[in-house]
A and B are shown apart, each in its own frame.
Chain A
Amino acid sequence: MKARVLLSLILLCGGLAAPSARADDAASAAPAAPAACELPSYLLTSESQLPRVADAVKAGKPLEILVVGSRSTTIPASENSSYPARMEAVLKDKLPPPEVVHVSVEIQSKKTAEETASTFVKLMEAKRPTLVIWQTGTVDAIRSIDPDEFRGAVTEGVAALQSAGADVVLMNLQYSPRTETMISAQPFLDNMRVVAQEHDIPLFDRFAIMRQWNDQGQFDLFSPSRGPELAKQVHDCLGRALAQFVIDAAHLGPAQQQN
């Protein structure tokens, strides 16, 4: 009797597991296909704008983009597949040919927003970017920094970047279902949204985007796989989404450029 119950339970679980396994296969069969990257448009648009980026492109100046991030900005041992590199490739592809796009990356691993923000003045003097994409929050969430302090630090950082003459895009945490029971992301997501609203700057909602992919079955983010394949695909999609987001916020789309 017991054995039969157990068996039917296992069969039930197997049956339920099967559809998601198939979804997995579909995703890995077409690694570069943008179909896997599909997102609802509200995740890719922002009411806030990037005037300096728009001006630079209009004036035909090179577009210098600086990504300030942490370890989740890169994939260990495959830098060229990380989202900043993918974004650069897509931007070069999408913007008209004479446009020069250069993306540099500044990794501040294991640093909180406050520690990172304190380096901004020097960093901006050295790099002079048109656009800074500041990805932050993960380290603060792991160390459960006071969200108020976090908000203060992000506010200061954004102010420093803006006063150095750059447009700013904020990027929040990764959606990480495995560590959901261990890292409390919500206060940090909320506070980044608040800062973005207060300063009228675009927020690239990496968390919601990755959750969307996971929920829709495009990627199985629970996967314990040790290989870099999944990471590469996700970063490819993130890079595409980010490029799209920047183009949209700076009104660089084909329609706008004709005007």
Chain B
Amino acid sequence: MTIADQVTGSTIADAAGAKPRAAASAITLPAIGERELRLDLFRGLALWLIFIDHLPTSLLTWFTIRNYGFSDATEIFIFISGYTAAFVYGRAMLESGFVIATARILRRVWQIYVAHVFLFTIFLAEISYVATSFENPLYTEEMGIMDFLKQPDVTIVQALLLRFRPVNMDVLPLYIVLMLALPLILWSMKWKPDVTLGLSVALYVVTWEYDLYFSAYPNGFWAFNPLAWQLLFVFGAWCALGGARRMSRILASPVTMWIAVAYLVAAFYVTLTWYVPQLGHLMPKRIEQWMYPIDKTDLDVLRFTHFVALAALTVRFLPRDWPGLRSRWLRPLILCGQHSLEIFCLGVFLAFAGHFILAEVSGGPAMHALISLSGILIMWGVAWVISWYKRVADKSGAKTKNAVGNADLAGGG
């Protein structure tokens, strides 16, 4: 069964199930039509890239987009999550009202939260192992990171409150907060989409101006500031709820294209100077001082615009009906993108496991490549199993399920 079968199959099933209100399922949203495979494709890609970025640097790391410009997979992930969440729950809000939609969103938030706690448990196991087995005198100072194990009571409670978040576990808490805000965002979007986007921009500006942040435990702040990153999420939601269509003329204009290309080339050049320091002196000091640091925590404007430029070019050169989207070669990516919460968590876990193997067995480049490759294969395999299971479960669950919609399409998490 190909992706195409799957999509058309489920569309028909949905349409048949919710006959009188054919629009009840997000998949048959009249404005968008069937499932947007480009979203799945790029979300899948983002998941793979996040996995590779979480492993120690290797040859494969050079294929991840963060080496070619300012933005990275996180931007893609958050934008698409905003887009799909608005797509599904926006429809739910129109059809079933604010309360029902909110309840469904909260259910999704709970799932993400549980996933986060699960990953934290694995992290605890890993760090405890390292703490007890690794005593290289070269790194006595770095082992200070284990100090929190001395008071697990505080640490674990703080982790449950999302205030203690180890490295590489920052995306899900950000996503939880954004999803919690989603009912409000959608409610406001229903009223006036442009004003909502304006408010989001205002919040972003205020965050930068007054340096607002979410505090973390034991000190510091959230590595992804939700007050800044909401801009990308809301922008995604705005695009999903008609913004993209209204922008289509701007997107189709060659002027936009050339601006985007010029910006991407400039960004590429700047990133090149990070890796080829010999180029550094060709970079005017003025520009360097104005530009650096390019802040990931608060979603630097340079990062945001870089993502927008990438997205503009993608939309232009990759039409929604591009036949390649149905090719079997892209199927693994699309499958992963369709089950993003599960595959994201799996990716974080596999990155932990990969580190572990590299540390315990061998750190050679061959092993590294093997781990990256098997990680991606495992992600694909699990995504396949999940869709197989969903298909089977949907068949036996029959039509009553349709009204609930597809959490994966919505979730993104």
Given A147-B293, A190-B293, A230-B138, is A16 in contact with B364 using a C-beta cutoff of 8 Å?
yes
Given A47-B281, A71-B141, is A182 in contact with B167 using a C-beta cutoff of 8 Å?
yes
Q: Does B292 contact A (CB under 8 A)?
A: yes
Please tell me which stretch of A50-58, A88-96, A161-169, A216-224 contacts chain B, meaning at least 4 of its Cβ atoms lie within 8 angstroms of it: A216-224
> In whole Å, how far is A153's beta carbon from the nearest beta carbon of chain B?
14
Please tell me which stretch of A31-39, A98-106, A172-180, A240-248 contacts chain B, meaning at least 4 of its Cβ atoms lie within 8 angstroms of it: A172-180
Q: Does B96 contact A (CB under 8 A)?
A: no
Q: Does B126 contact A (CB under 8 A)?
A: yes
Contact A17 B361 (CB under 8 A): yes
Our pick among B141, B219, B277 for the contact of A72 (Cβ within 8 Å) is B141
A71 neighbours in B (Cβ, 8 Å): 140-141
Contact B142 A224 (CB under 8 A): no
Contact A223 B145 (CB under 8 A): no
Our pick among A21, A177, A183 for the contact of B359 (Cβ within 8 Å) is A177
Contact A76 B140 (CB under 8 A): yes
Given A147-B297, A183-B145, A184-B167, is A76 in contact with B281 using a C-beta cutoff of 8 Å?
no
A109 neighbours in B (Cβ, 8 Å): 141
Name the residue among A13, A178, A184, A226 with the largest chain B CB count within 10 angstroms. Answer: A178
Contact A228 B137 (CB under 8 A): yes
Please tell me which stretch of B107-115, B350-358, B382-390 contacts chain A, meaning at least 4 of its Cβ atoms lie within 8 angstroms of it: B350-358
> Using a CB-CB cutoff of 8 Å, which residues 247-303 of chain B contact chain A?
277-278, 280-281, 285, 288-289, 292-293, 296-297
Contact A138 B142 (CB under 8 A): yes
B137 neighbours in A (Cβ, 8 Å): 75-76, 226-228, 231
Q: Does A86 contact B (CB under 8 A)?
A: no
Our pick among A177, A181, A226 for the contact of B363 (Cβ within 8 Å) is A177
> In whole Å, how far is A12's beta carbon from the nearest beta carbon of chain B?
8
Contact B140 A182 (CB under 8 A): no
A177 neighbours in B (Cβ, 8 Å): 56, 358-359, 363
A21 neighbours in B (Cβ, 8 Å): 362
Number of A positions contacting B (CB below 8 A): 59
Residue of A nearest to B221 (CB): A146
Say whether chain A's binding surface is mostly helix, strand, loop, or mixed: helix
Residue of A nearest to B223 (CB): A184
> Using a CB-CB cutoff of 8 Å, which residues 107-148 of chain B contact chain A?
123, 126-127, 130, 133-145
> In whole Å, how far is A134's beta carbon from the nearest beta carbon of chain B?
15
> In whole Å, how far is B218's beta carbon from the nearest beta carbon of chain A?
7
> Using a CB-CB cutoff of 8 Å, which residues 197-247 of chain A contact chain B?
197-198, 211, 214-215, 217, 220-228, 230-231, 234-235
Contact A138 B362 (CB under 8 A): no
A144 neighbours in B (Cβ, 8 Å): 216, 219-221, 223
Q: Does B367 contact A (CB under 8 A)?
A: yes
Contact B135 A224 (CB under 8 A): yes
A110 neighbours in B (Cβ, 8 Å): 144
> In whole Å, how far is A80's beta carbon from the nearest beta carbon of chain B?
14
Given A174-B139, A178-B359, is A17 in contact with B364 using a C-beta cutoff of 8 Å?
yes
Residue of A nearest to B216 (CB): A144
Show 24 A/B contacts (Cβ-Cβ < 8 Å), sorted by A: A13-B367, A16-B370, A19-B364, A47-B280, A71-B141, A72-B142, A110-B144, A138-B141, A139-B144, A144-B220, A145-B220, A151-B293, A174-B142, A180-B56, A180-B355, A181-B123, A181-B167, A191-B293, A193-B292, A197-B285, A198-B289, A222-B358, A226-B135, A234-B138
